[in-house]
Amino acid sequence: MKKYLKKLTALLAVCIMFTACSGQKQNTQKKEETNKTESKSDTVNAQISFSGSSTLAPVINKIATDFIEKHTTWDKVDSSLPKENITIFVSSGGSGAGVKAVLDKVANFGMLARDIKDSEKEKIKDLESYTLGLDALCICVNPDNNILKAKNGNLTKEEIIKIFSGEYKTWKQVDPSLPDEEIVVVTRDLGGGAHEVFQKKIMKDVKVRQDAIQAPSMGALVSKIIENKNAIGYASYGITNQNKGKLIPMKVDNVEPTEENILNNSYYISRPLIIMKSGKLTATEKVFVNLLQSEEGKKVIKSMGFIPSK
């Protein structure tokens, strides 16, 4: 009776582990397969989750969608991986939210559109990070804004500070030839990586005006500029390229936000696009990260308006 119970227990365990496999194999074969699966359980996860930057999220989502449509299950990518559906979750909420998601262990990867802070490096155990590309913040206005003619498409750093701090409240204060209409300042919310980069590289110790519109995502920020001829905001270089003609990037101190100028740092409001995690990559994570860093991944990053890592 005891032997019978042991065999029954083993058989049930095998059935649970291999619901997707054929039931016609011998029990000994099933036990061997079960042992193999158990040995991989610590290094394989069929589901991978990303959380963080609203700038980087669409890029990861695009690559993930194409990857899943092409392969469907992990074993089709690599025969040593399990025959399980590839599932990749991507959620946005800002770079800070990405770091928190990794710390709270609610996401495998955090997505950042800024550098990782020293304080974050200290908190995250066995930090691993991967730079996928480069972005920049473009000071953008609506195409119907006459500042483009009045200032020859250029703003100095000092003028930008005065506009975003609220010292300049109307466009006439920026240039006498402009209408006496209120400037509508649009920023990312305080948890976004863009806000931190803008504060650090432009505003320094000067605070952005309190009544500025705080957009929940970079896409929402761009929409506000497109909708309002008196709006001005800092938009991602990639998303600015995606909306070419719908909003216009200004020169900053007579330097245009071009790929060449961003790479040589003459246009200095740049920022990295990073994914990070705690601990070593699992086998499935390694496959996907390799894809993100591959020529195929770089093509997607480039096609979405960003500058891929070399």
pLDDT digits (tens, 9 = 90+) for 141-151: 999 999 999 99
> CB count, 10 Å around CB of 15?
12
- 166 or 10: which leads in pLDDT: 166
Same domain membership, residue 148 and residue 266: yes
**Mean of all residue pLDDT scores within the chain:** 89
- Residue pointed to by tokens 């040995």: 39
pLDDT band at residue 190 under the 50/70/90 scheme: confident
Nearest-10 crossing angle of helices 295-303, 57-71: 130
Average pLDDT over residues 267-279: 98
Same domain membership, residue 206 and residue 219: yes
Q: What is the pLDDT of residue 192?
A: 80
Average pLDDT over residues 15-21: 36
Residues 6+ apart with CB under 8 A from 87: 46, 47, 48, 68
> Closest Cα partner for 293 from 11, 60, 21, 24?
60
Domain of residue 303, CATH code:
3.40.190.10
Residue 72 zone, left/alpha/beta (φ > 0; ψ -120 to 50; rest) = left
Same domain membership, residue 155 and residue 98: no
Tell me whether residue 8 is in a domain. Answer: no
Tell me whether residue 194 is in a domain. Answer: yes
Q: What is the pLDDT of residue 33?
A: 44
| Dihedral, 84, 85, 86, 87 alpha carbons, nearest 10 | -120
Same domain membership, residue 182 and residue 96: no
Backbone phi and psi for residue 95, each to the nearest 5 degrees, phi listed first: -60, -40
- 85 or 193: which leads in pLDDT: 85
Please write the tens of the pLDDT for every residue from 201-247. 999 999 999 999 999 999 999 999 999 999 999 999 999 999 999 99
Domain containing 229 equals: 136-270
Tell me whether residue 23 is in a domain. Answer: no
Same domain membership, residue 239 and residue 173: yes
Integer Cα distance of 105 and 99 in angstroms: 10
Please write the tens of the pLDDT for every residue from 89-130. 999 999 999 999 999 999 999 999 999 999 999 999 999 999
Distances (CA, A) of 148 to 155, 183, 249, 288: 10, 14, 9, 43
Tell me whether residue 221 is in a domain. Answer: yes
Tell me whether residue 209 is in a domain. Answer: yes
Same domain membership, residue 92 and residue 118: yes
> Closest Cα partner for 93 from 51, 129, 48, 59?
51
Same domain membership, residue 230 and residue 208: yes
Overall domain count for the chain: 2
**pLDDT beyond 90 at 3:** no
pLDDT band at residue 9 under the 50/70/90 scheme: very low
Q: What is the pLDDT of residue 44?
A: 85
Integer Cα distance of 160 and 180 in angstroms: 18
Alpha helices, DSSP H, located in 124-256: 147-150, 157-165, 171-174, 193-198, 218-227, 237-242
pTM: 0.82
Question: What amino acid is encoded at 185 in this protein?
Answer: V
The length of the chain is 310
Tokens of 145: 């804004």
Same domain membership, residue 161 and residue 89: no
Same domain membership, residue 60 and residue 100: yes
Q: What is the pLDDT of residue 21?
A: 40
Same domain membership, residue 280 and residue 205: no
Question: What amino acid is encoded at 150 in this protein?
Answer: A
